[in-house]
């Protein structure tokens, strides 16, 4: 075995150990990348890289989209969009058996379309919908399972911060990624609502129907969500039709959400200060991880690890589809051990070179988009899968009277629904690709 490749594999093993002992993933990647580069090429090469790497990485105009979308999500959290969304969804679905849970899913989709974060979606909608689910005597498993699964919609329905990060790593077009994720995200909403409909018929007492509301209340609730829908159409629709690229779109979104919050909900200066501070913290964390991932990628590329992995897979004799499924299974396992952002940043420099070498009968740019959507779906699964299951932990912290085992039981049907969606997208790539092709064509 080549000495450089051996050193790269040792570095990879060291990275796994450092993550296993709970070192922050950004520091682990920076440490392994820096020491590995020194071992391979000497400290002068490392210093030369550090001189320009940070600037070249973060001075890109596209990188400014991350803090803008993060800020939009934090302002949306304080602006009360979640209450309006849930009220409107409940007006449409609440009178059905399991309708309040269906309303929570629809509201999660709407909030995720503005927020772009799974954990923020789960936290915010949990605070809004959980009291209503308890009031209508929903079972603990269905109530908490619905909200934990509903939070998943924030990671895929655009705008999504993780989707932007994936696009940056593999050098994909952000607009195309947003377009590719839209319909798979809507399919998830439909599947989750069907899961609830089946669940309440199999377990009749788990999700009783809500109260009927008057026609005037229905109209009021529906009109109350029009500004939120308008924000989504202006931001995402403007991107799709080419009025602006994602960065100015995010700025427009921040302005609209802030205007909405100030007029409708009376958001105070202290709320904006909180949103700005949280945005700085989150963006700083993302940028530091991106820096570490780039440093690690340089070391691993010099050591030949991604190239060796791609060559091994291509020469394994397995079909491209089997290799793809194996990689997705690996992502599900990794998702049980780390958060979605860290996983995308850590594994994509290794997985994408493998996928790019496989022949799926479509252009590389289409494979890049298709694989990104598939990867984000399996990353979602890690948020509801033990032992980590971050969304489950978030909802359990809000529903302290429901054992975590019940919440994991409640998310199991949604997990199966996600596998159905994944199978559909693997079998029919056109579901993800037709809208990006339409926009680019």
DSSP per-residue codes, 215-280? HHHHHHHHHHTHHHHHHHIIIIIHHHHTSS-HHHHHHHHHHHHHHHIIIII---HHHHHHHHHHHH
Confidence of residue 370 (pLDDT cuts 50, 70, 90): very high
Residue 118's domain comprises: 3-440
Q: What is the mean pLDDT of residues 178-195?
A: 91
Overall pTM surpassing 0.95 (yes/no): no
The tally of domains found in the chain comes to 1
Q: What is the mean pLDDT of residues 410-426?
A: 92
Higher-pLDDT residue of 81 and 326 is 326
Query: Mind listing the pLDDT tens digit for each residue in 104-138?
Result: 898 888 887 777 677 778 877 888 888 888 888 88
- Could you tell me if 68 and 256 are in contact, meaning their C-beta atoms sit under 8 angstroms apart? no
- pLDDT score for 318: 80
Higher-pLDDT residue of 254 and 209 is 254
Distance CA 217, CA 207 (A): 23
Reduce the DSSP state of residue 274 to 3 states and report it. Answer: helix
Distance CA 71, CA 77 (A): 10
- pLDDT score for 413: 93
Q: 10-30 b/e with 16+ CB inside 10 Å = b?
A: ebbeebeebbeeeeebbebbb
- pLDDT score for 191: 95
For the cut 90, the answer to whether the pLDDT of residue 244 exceeds it is: no
Query: Mind listing the pLDDT tens digit for each residue in 325-337?
Result: 988 888 887 776 6
For the cut 60, the answer to whether the pLDDT of residue 401 exceeds it is: yes
């Amino acid at each position: 075995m080549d000495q450089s490749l051996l050193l790269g594999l040792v570095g990879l093993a060291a990275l796994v150990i450092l993550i296993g002992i709970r070192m922050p993933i950004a520091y682990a990647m920076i440490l392994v990348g820096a020491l590995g580069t020194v071992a391979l090429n000497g400290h002068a090469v490392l210093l030369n890289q550090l001189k320009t790497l940070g600037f070249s990485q973060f001075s890109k105009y596209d990188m400014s989209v991350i803090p803008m979308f993060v800020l939009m999500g934090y302002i949306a959290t304080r602006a009360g969009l979640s209450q309006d969304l849930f009220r409107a969804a409940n007006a449409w679905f609440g009178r059905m058996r399991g309708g309040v849970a269906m309303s929570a899913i629809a509201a999660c989709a709407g909030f995720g379309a503005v927020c772009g974060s799974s954990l923020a979606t789960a936290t915010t909608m949990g605070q809004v919908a959980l009291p209503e689910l308890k009031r209508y005597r929903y079972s603990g498993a269905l109530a908490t399972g619905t909200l934990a699964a509903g939070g998943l919609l924030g990671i895929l329905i655009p705008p999504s911060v993780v989707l932007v990060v994936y696009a940056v790593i593999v050098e994909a077009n952000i607009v195309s990624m947003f377009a590719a994720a839209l319909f798979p995200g809507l399919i998830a909403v439909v599947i989750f609502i069907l899961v609830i409909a089946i669940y309440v018929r199999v377990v009749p007492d788990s999700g009783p129907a809500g109260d009927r509301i008057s026609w005037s209340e229905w109209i009021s609730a529906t009109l109350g969500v029009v500004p939120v829908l308008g924000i989504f159409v202006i931001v995402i629709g403007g991107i799709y039709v080419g009025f602006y690229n994602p960065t100015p779109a995010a700025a427009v979104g921040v302005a609209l959400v802030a205007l909405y919050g100030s007029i409708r909900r009376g958001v105070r200066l202290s709320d904006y200060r909180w949103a700005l501070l949280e945005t700085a913290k989150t963006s700083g964390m993302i940028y530091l991880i991106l820096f570490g991932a780039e440093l690690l990628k340089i070391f691993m590329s010099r050591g030949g690890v991604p190239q060796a992995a791609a060559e091994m897979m291509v020469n394994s004799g397995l079909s491209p589809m089997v290799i793809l499924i194996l990689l997705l299974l690996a992502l599900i396992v990794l998702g049980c051990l780390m958060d979605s952002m860290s996983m995308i940043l850590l594994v994509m420099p290794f997985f994408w070179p493998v996928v790019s070498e496989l022949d799926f009968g479509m252009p590389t740019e289409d494979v890049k988009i298709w694989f990104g959507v598939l990867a984000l779906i399996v990353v979602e699964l890690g948020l509801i899968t033990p032992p980590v299951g971050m969304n489950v932990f978030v909802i359990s912290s809000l529903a302290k009277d429901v054992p975590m085992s019940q919440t994991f039981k409640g998310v199991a049907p949604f997990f199966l629904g996600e596998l159905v969606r994944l199978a559909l997208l693997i079998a029919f790539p056109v579901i993800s690709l037709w809208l990006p092709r339409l926009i680019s064509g």
